[in-house]
Amino acid sequence: MKNDKVKRKHQAKPIERHDTAAWASIAYEKEKSKVTVPAEFEMANAKDYVDENHK
C-alpha cells in the first residue's frame, strides 16, 4: 500500500517541459496531411541547440 501511494504522488509531476520545444510554435499546418510545421525561427533555435549539445 505504501509503495503505491509514493508512485501516485510522483506521477503528477511532468518529466519534460514542452513549452519551449520547436513544435510548440506552429507556423502553419499542411492541408492534406495535417502535419504541423514550426516557425522558421524555432527550427533554427532547435538546430543550434542540437549542434551545441552533441556528444
The predicted model scores a pTM of 0.47
- Residue 32 has a pLDDT of 93
Smallest Cα–Cα separation from 28: which of 44, 43, 39? 39
The string of pLDDT tens digits covering residues 1-55 is 556 666 666 666 666 666 666 666 788 889 999 888 888 888 888 888 888 876 5
On the CB side of 53, how many CA atoms lie within 13 Å of its CA? Answer: 6
C-alpha cell at 6: 509514493
